[in-house]
Amino acid sequence: MKKRGLADFFFLLLVGYLLLPVLATMLYAFATKWNKSILPEGLTLKWLATLFRDTDFIQAFGRSVLLAGGAVSIALLVIVPAIFVIVLYFPKYEKWIQMAVVMVYSFPGIILAVGLIRVYSKIGIPMIFVVLGAYVVGILPYIYQGTRNSLRNIDARQLLDAAQLLGASKRQAFTKILLPTVYPGLFAGALLSFSVLFGEFVLINLVVGSRFETVQIYLMKKLSTSGHIASAVVFIYLVLMGLLTFVIAIVTKRSKGATNL
Amino acid sequence: MSYLIIEGLHKKYGQVSVLTNIHMEIQKGEFITLLGPSGCGKSTILRIVAGLTDASAGKISIEGKDMNGVQPKDRQVGMVFQSYALFPNMTVHENVAFGLRMQKVNKTDMEQRVHEMLALVHLSEKANAYPKELSGGQQQRVALARALIVRPKVLLLDEPLSALDAQIRKKLQADLRSIQRKLNMTMILVTHDQEEAMAVSDRIFVMNNGSIAQTGTPTEIYTRPNNEFIANFIGHYNVFPRQSLEKMLGKSLIGQSTKFAIRPEALHLDQRDGDLCLSGIAKQSLMSGNIIRTTFEGEMTFTMEQLHQQGYSIEMGKSYKCYVAQEDVIALS
């Protein structure tokens, strides 16, 4: 009984340690004034309203969605078919994808940024497209894992064979059988990638900076002018991430007969 | 003319040859089994017939039509896989209806045929279930229904029952044979289980190392194995070198064969006219339900199988004389 009480205490301590800064930041987004008291002196929606009236924020939000969404879309169109083909027909080449996945993790953002600037700044390609390309590669681990785990749960090659023997073309077998079967894993991988890219700051700030202001750069700018507005940005970001996590959970749970991530 | 003809089929992966000069002629409505140990190439034959794997050389024709270059979807060949290969995103009904949807069969006909097929495999009440909600035996019946509903010219069965437990496997073997007879469908079963092959087949092709070792009815294959591999693979045959057997029997054997086989159940303890005699000391006795298998050691080791009957007993360590009719000593090639 005593041991159980001690375990509960440390668990609550950990939860408090993790949640307190988040809750405090979120509360600060609604505080009228919070300088000399333990709790805010009052609550207001003023900071959120100010934020949504700020066209700079709306545009920054739009740019972040566009950039993250664009990178995820390109990855789905380019990487996913490549993973399917390699896993199903050329499994001996899969080790190269796995190596690329590890390399993505092993490159620190600062080195990547310097490398991209040195290689591409004089070529004439707009640097935002360079960042977009780097993002597509950067989310390879999430897209690869999502797709691969889904494929691992099924014998994809045999499903394609079975569909073809029942009169389906290769395209029909892919779209009617394989894609719906791996869809939950794929969708979860895409949402995860989107949330990672939406919060990315190092690369976009170093390579493009304020020429393409995303939510993270806007947040950085607001940190020095208004703590309340910055907290409101963080609040919106957290709500968005919470929604994405919720959708991932729902999709993977409601996937009927299909395989999960 | 035969319904399905396979002529001079070869398959190589790089320098490794997995099929060598396969010839098969199968009649309409026949239930054929390809029997052999793992890796002997039997599943490769099925995949080549289905068009899922290309042959290195050879010709396949179904109903007189050359299948070279014909896509799997256009061959009218069905297949049931060992791992069922049911579409996990579809219900039982949708799985069974898939082939008809691809053929663009109208909805009324489709519903009627799916209903009939599910009734045939006793799964009408599971129509709305997803594959993962079914047992292995039920999943295999769905796979069978899905393959049968498109009325293929030939149905290929790639070890469809091997993942199931013994009781369900026996039940499904009987179901499979009964459905095949009812529909008069040409089926080719791949299995490494000789009992399964004996139970369901009209004819068996025994394979070894990528070629066909013997062809015949189950009775022919079992009672007249033509070489040592078949004798060992098909049952618990006692295989003896000629010299050792002649020494033990105390007489010369006719023919030129260097090896001879004796079925363990052909041996008995009571002497009949003209019987040959083998003697040995009883060393081990194993009871498998209705059969008692006793191993004797003498000049050579041999096994005798007898029905497990009341009052029957062999004392271990005691010397016995076992008898066999001359016609049950089979010369191997």
Q: Does the pLDDT of residue B258 top 70, yes or no?
A: yes
Tell me the pLDDT band of B312, cut-offs 50, 70 and 90.
Answer: low
DSSP string for residues in chain A? -HHHHHHHHHHHHHHHHHHHHHHHHHHHTTBS--SSSSS-S-B-SHHHHHHHH-HHHHHHHHHHHHHHHHHHHHHHHHHHHHHHHHHHH-GGGHHHHHHHHHHHHHS-HHHHHHHHHHHHTTTT--HHHHHHHHHHHHTHHHHHHHHHHHHHTTTHHHHHHHHHHTT--HHHHIIIIIHHHHHHHHHHHHHHHHHHHHT--HHHHHHTGGGG--HHHHHHHHHTT-HHHHHHHHHHHHHHHHHHHHHHHHHHHT-TTSPP-
Of A158, A164, A166, the CB nearest to B150: A166
**Which chain B residues have a beta carbon less than 8 Å from that of A172?**
102
Provide, as residue numbers in chain A, all residues whose Cβ is less than 8 Å from the Cβ of B78. Answer: 165-166
Structure confidence at residue B239 (pLDDT):
92
Query: Cβ contact (<8 Å) for A155 and B85?
Result: yes
CB contact under 8 A, B98 and A166: yes
Q: Is the pLDDT of residue B197 over 90?
A: yes
Number of Cβ pairs < 8 A linking chain A and chain B: 72
Question: Is it true that domain B4-232 has CATH number 3.90.1300.10?
Answer: no
Interval B134-162: pLDDT, tens: 998 899 999 999 999 999 999 999 998 88
Instruction: Tell me which architecture the domain covering A64-253 has in CATH.
Output: Orthogonal Bundle (1.10)
Q: Do A164 and B72 touch (CB under 8 A)?
A: yes
**Closest Cβ opposite residue A166 in set B81, B102, B132:** B102
pLDDT one-digit tens code per residue, B279-294: 899 999 888 888 889 9
* CATH code of domain B244-332: 2.40.50.100
Mean pLDDT of all residues belonging to chain B: 91
Chain B interface, Cβ < 8 Å to A: 50, 52, 71-73, 75, 77-79, 81, 83, 85, 87-91, 98-99, 102-103, 130-132, 146-147, 150
Q: How distant is the Cα of A184 from the closest Cα of chain B, in angstroms?
A: 11
pLDDT, one tens digit per residue, over A158-168 is 999 999 999 99
Distance of residue A170 Cα from the nearest chain B Cα, in angstroms: 9
Band of residue A188 on the pLDDT scale cut at 50, 70, 90: confident
Q: What is the pTM assigned to this prediction?
A: 0.77
Domain boundaries, chain B: 4-232, 244-332
A169–B87 C-beta distance less than 8 A: no
- The pLDDT value recorded for residue B36 is 93
- Please write the tens of the pLDDT for every residue from A193-234: 998 999 899 899 999 888 889 988 989 888 888 888 889 999
Residue A258 has pLDDT above 60, yes or no: no
What confidence score (pLDDT) does residue A36 get? 79
Region B6-29 average pLDDT = 94
Residue A131 reports pLDDT greater than 90: yes
* pLDDT reading at A83 higher than 80: yes
